[in-house]
Structure 1
C-alpha cells in the first residue's frame, strides 16, 4: 500500500523531496478581482453618501465595462475582504443592438437604459419578478430610479443557460436583473440601507 511515508521515502531517495517537503498541498481558490479604479470610486461614493447609509460593511458594485456574459456584479465585504461575483443584465436602452455590452447610461424615464451612480438599497418586496430589492438613486445620474421602478430582481433572461445559448444575457428595462439563484445570495448579504454603485471604467 502506497502511504505518505512511502512517498516521502521514495522521493527522498530520488532526491525529489525531503521529510519536511509537503507532498499534498491545498491551494485556496483565487479571489475574484474587481477593477481597482472602479472599487476606489465606489468607496469614495460610500464615504460621500455615508449619512444616508445604515450599514457600510458590504458594498455592491456593477462593473458595466464588462460584457453581460461576465460575472460583473460584485458583493464586497469591506471588513473581511471577501468578494463574490454574479452575472447581471443591463438595460436594452443601453445596448439597442444587443451586443452584450453597455454602450451608454441614461436617467431619462422611458429610456429603458441602465443608470450610473450610487444607489441605496431599500426593502424587499414581491413584484412582477417575485422577490425584488427596491433602490433609490442618490446622484443626478440616477435620480429617477424610483420613478422608473429600477430595482434588483431575477429574470429568466438572466439565467446562465442564456449565456450558454447566446453568449450574452438578455436585457432589462434598466433594472439589475440576476439569475434566481444569484438573487437569493445577494438578498442574503445586501440588506436595506447599503450602497450599490453602478459605473464603467
Structure 2
C-alpha cells in the first residue's frame, strides 16, 4: 500500500513540472516568432514590396520590437547600402500600416562619396553611425530646427549625443543638389534631410520613436 501511495505522489509531483515545461516551450516559440509574423503583416499591409526590401524592413522592425523605451508606433529606416542619389530614408507608421515618408538623406563627409562605406562612433570622425536610435526633443541650432538622437547600440552609436548627431534640414540634401553634382551633399555625420520636408518629418518622429540605420 505504501508503495502504491509513493508512486501516486511522485506522479502528482511530476505532472505540473511537465506541464510547466510545455508552457515555457510554447511561450519561447511564440515569442521568437511573433515579431517575424508582425513584420510580415505590416510589410504586406503597408504595400512596401518594391519600395523597401523585406530583409531591410525586417531588420528595422526587429530593432523597433526590441527597443523597450520606444514611445511611438513609428519606425524610421535609413538604408545606407544605397547611394545618396536614391531615396533611402523611410518612415513607416506601424499603427496604420502606412509608409509616411520616403526621401533623401545625407551621410557623413568622411563616410564616402556617392555611397557610404565607412562608419564610426568616434567624436569628430565626421562619419555616419549605424544602429538603433531613439528620437528625443527638438531645438534650434546652427543647422536650424533639429532633432536630438540617443544612440541605443553600445559601441556603435552610443556617442551620438557627444557627437551632436541630430536630424536636421540642409540645402545640400535636396534633389537639386543631386542634379547639379551627381550626388547628394554630405554632413558631418548627421542624417540631414531635404529642407522642405525636414520640419514635418522631425515633428512626426520626435519624442521617442525608433530610427534604425544600416548599411
Q: Shorter-chain TM-score: which interval? A: 0.7 to 0.9
Match of 2:62 among 36, 44, 53: 44
Q: Unmatched 5+ residue regions in structure 1?
A: 1-28
Q: How does 1:31-70 map to 2 (within 5 A)?
A: 33-50=51-68, 52-55=69-72, 57-70=73-86
The structure 1 residue matched to 2:147, chosen from 133, 158, 171, is: 133
- C-alpha root-mean-square deviation of aligned residues, in Å? 1.6
Q: Distance in 1 between matches of 2:48 and 2:119?
A: 32
Aligned counterparts, 1:1-201, within 5 A: 33-50=51-68, 52-55=69-72, 57-83=73-99, 84-95=101-112, 99-140=113-154, 141-200=156-215
Instruction: Tell whether the 8 Å contact from 1:31 to 1:82 is kept in structure 2 after alignment.
Output: no
The secondary structure found in structure 1 opposite 2:110 is helix
State the 1:154 CA deviation.
0.8
Structure 2 residue ranges without an equivalent (≥5): 1-46
SS at match of 1:121: strand
Distance change (3 Å), C-alpha of 1:80 and 1:32: farther
TM-score by length of 1: 0.79
Relative to its length, the structure with more helix (as a share) is 2
Partner of 1:94, secondary structure, is: coil
1:162 CA displacement: 0.2
Alpha-carbon distance change, 122 to 101 in structure 1, aligned in 2, over 3 angstroms? same
Paired with 1:159 and 1:189, the residues of 2 have a C-alpha distance of: 20
Q: Flag as ranges the 4+ runs of structure 1 deviating above 6 A.
A: 29-32
- Does the 8 A contact of 2:167 with 2:202 survive in 1? no
Higher alpha-carbon Rg:
2
Q: How does the TM-score come out when normalised to structure 2?
A: 0.74
